[in-house]
Chains A and B, each alone.
Chain A
Amino acid sequence: AQTVTQSQPEMSVQEAETVTLSCTYDTSESDYYLFWYKQPPSRQMILVIRQEAYKQQNATENRFSVNFQKAAKSFSLKISDSQLGDAAMYFCAYRTPTGANSKLTFGKGITLSVRP
């Protein structure tokens, strides 16, 4: 079974600084998707960034980028120029693209606080 591990329950960053959130996963599949979701106090699940496993290039969305290491099964999220609005819980998630139930498997999440 696929598992997603976020070992840091909490992190803190100074406004305008850079922070990296860690995620590792375990799978025997070769093709899959990886995601980072943001959950602000409103509780809405917001997709931050996605990575297809077959793509070697790391995904980037404005201030958000990932470091995808397929062999190491590592998928970290880097937030540059941190802003107060980045404070939220962040979930790493995995999904296979095919299969009867290609469900999202989530990590336990990490709470990010941003210091002004």
Chain B
Amino acid sequence: EAQVTQNPRYLITVTGKKLTVTCSQNMNHEYMSWYRQDPGLGLRQIYYSMNVEVTDKGDVPEGYKVSRKEKRNFPLILESPSPNQTSLYFCASRRRGASEQYFGPGTRLTVT
């Protein structure tokens, strides 16, 4: 089954404790991206990747890092999480040239 997976689905952590949210897709898609969803703001792009070893900032990259060492994986790293990073996070992927973007199930992160 074609899908985008994220882990963990839920995470409660404390300020400053480094964490990684994993994202993996099995569709051989070139393009992957991370979004965060906050009430009243919709979804906003954090980082994106056009292909392996090619990443760039989206609209709200502060406090986040990413890497793309393999085509299928695009982890989101929070080196020192803060409460303002409490949010719902989505990973998404798309084949180059295609219109449809596939979303993961979301990760609910709470930073206390």
Please give the residue numbers on chain A whose beta carbons come within 8 Å of chain B beta carbons, in ascending order: 4, 9, 33, 42-45, 47, 50, 52, 91, 95, 97, 100-101, 103-104, 106-109
Seed contacts A44-B103, A100-B50, A103-B45; 15 additional CB < 8 Å A-B pairs = A43-B105, A43-B106, A43-B108, A45-B103, A47-B100, A50-B100, A52-B99, A91-B43, A97-B97, A103-B33, A103-B58, A104-B35, A104-B43, A106-B42, A108-B41
Within the complex, the shortest CB–CB distance from A94 to chain B, in Å, comes to 11
A contact patch SS: loop
Q: Is B74 an interface residue (CB 8 A)?
A: no
User: Given A44-B106, A45-B90, A103-B33, is A97 in contact with B99 using a C-beta cutoff of 8 Å?
Assistant: yes
Docked pose: A9 CA to B100 CA in angstroms: 25
Question: Number of contacting residues on B, CB 8 A?
Answer: 24
Please give the residue numbers on chain B whose beta carbons come within 8 Å of chain A beta carbons, in ascending order: 33, 35, 40-45, 48, 50, 56, 58-59, 88, 90, 92, 97, 99-101, 103, 105-106, 108
Inter-chain residue pair count (beta carbon < 8 A): 50
Task: Name B105's closest neighbour in chain A (CB-CB).
Answer: A44
Task: Name A46's closest neighbour in chain B (CB-CB).
Answer: B103
**Could you say which of B43, B50, B58, B105 contacts A106, with CB atoms under 8 Å apart?**
B43
Within the complex, the shortest CB–CB distance from A46 to chain B, in Å, comes to 8
Can you list 21 pairs linking A and B with CB atoms under 8 Å apart? A9-B40, A43-B105, A43-B108, A44-B103, A45-B90, A45-B103, A50-B99, A95-B101, A97-B99, A100-B50, A100-B56, A101-B45, A101-B48, A101-B50, A103-B48, A103-B58, A104-B92, A108-B40, A108-B41, A108-B42, A109-B42
